[in-house]
Structure 1
Amino acid sequence: MSDLKTRVLEDIKTAMKSGERERLSVLRMLNSDIKQREVVDSVEITDAVVIASIEKMLKQRRDSESQFRSGNRPDLADKEASEIAVLLHYLPQQLTTAEVEALIAQAVAETGAQGGKDMGKVMGWLKPKVAGKTDMGKLSGLIKAALG
Structure 2
Amino acid sequence: MITQKLTEDMKVAMKAGDKLRLSVVRMLLSELKNERIAQGEDLDEASERKVLTGYAKKRREAMEAARAGGREEVAAREQQELDITMAYLPPQLSEADLRVVVRKHIETAGATGPQAFGVVMKSVMAEVGGQADGKVVSALVRELMG
Which TM-score bucket, shorter chain as reference? over 0.9
Per-residue deviation, residues 25-70 of structure 1 (Å, max 9, x unmatched):
1111111110111112224311111111111111111111111111
1: CA distance between counterparts of 2:121 and 2:57?
18
Are 2:125 and 1:133 equivalent residues in the alignment?
no
SS in 2 for 1:93: coil
Q: Which residue of 2 aligns with 1:57?
A: 55
Native 8 Å contact 1:37 1:43 kept in 2: no
1:77 CA displacement: 0.5
1: CA distance between counterparts of 2:135 and 2:26?
26
- Change beyond 3 A, Cα 1:73–1:11: same
After TM superposition, the score normalised by the length of structure 1 is: 0.94
1: CA distance between counterparts of 2:54 and 2:137?
15
Gap regions ≥5 residues in structure 1: none
After TM superposition, the score normalised by the length of structure 2 is: 0.95
Task: Find the partner of 1:20 among 18, 21, 31.
Answer: 18
2: CA distance between counterparts of 1:85 and 1:49?
20
1: CA distance between counterparts of 2:94 and 2:142?
18
1:128 CA displacement: 2.1
Are 2:108 and 1:110 equivalent residues in the alignment?
yes
Code of the aligned partner of 2:93 = L
SS in 1 for 2:130: coil
Instruction: Count matched residues.
Output: 146
Of residues 23-32 and 90-99 in structure 1, the stretch that sits farther from structure 2 once superposed is: 90-99
2: CA distance between counterparts of 1:37 and 1:53?
8
SS in 2 for 1:40: helix
Q: Which residue of 2 aligns with 1:32?
A: 30
Native 8 Å contact 1:66 1:77 kept in 2: yes
Query: Stretches of 4+ moved more than 4 A in 1?
Result: none
Per-residue deviation, residues 67-123 of structure 1 (Å, max 9, x unmatched):
111111111111100001001101112211111000001100111211222111111
Q: Which residue of 2 aligns with 1:6?
A: 4
SS in 2 for 1:132: helix
Gap regions ≥5 residues in structure 2: none
